[in-house]
Copies of this chain bind each other. A is one copy, B any other.
Amino acid sequence: MSATPVRPQLDALRWRDVDVLEYKREGGAPFRDVTRQVLFDLPSLACQLRYFEVAPGGHTTLERHQHAHAVVIERGRGRVLVGNAIHDVAPHDLVHVPAMTWHQFVAADEVPLGFLCMVNAERDRPQLPTAEELERLRSDEAIAAFVRT
């Protein structure tokens, strides 16, 4: 993390001194075409602020965890599963993912979906659905058509 107080945006949603990272470091969790940029990760702040960008047609991992997400959509368009509901999202919409709630972000086919995500710096690891949990989720027809695994 640079000590520079101001880091200008260079290209769209790309910043000086911010690396464009793979969404997940470890293998095993299914996702497609997602980048991660850690904008703020400071000892003085109890949360981190990250920027994720899902390419057109891509998706984040379907997962849940004890920690919550506070999300501000910044770019493009897509849909989000939170619990049992699927929502269309566009720039500046706010998304709250509560504890232990299944969630997945899916970009539209034609445009990316970029969003800021605030999380506690200390947090648990995400859980993937078991075959049984996935079956239960898929008992809802709309969710069955939505989820990418």
Contact = CB atoms under 8 A, between A and B. Distances in A.
Contacts of A18: 94
Contacts of A95: 5-6
A85 interface: yes
User: How many chain copies?
Assistant: 2
12 contacts: A5-B83, A5-B97, A5-B98, A6-B82, A9-B94, A39-B70, A39-B94, A40-B94, A44-B68, A45-B47, A45-B119, A118-B118
Interface of A: 4-9, 12-13, 15, 18, 39-40, 42, 44-47, 49, 67-68, 70, 72, 74, 80, 82-83, 85, 87, 89-99, 101, 116, 118-121
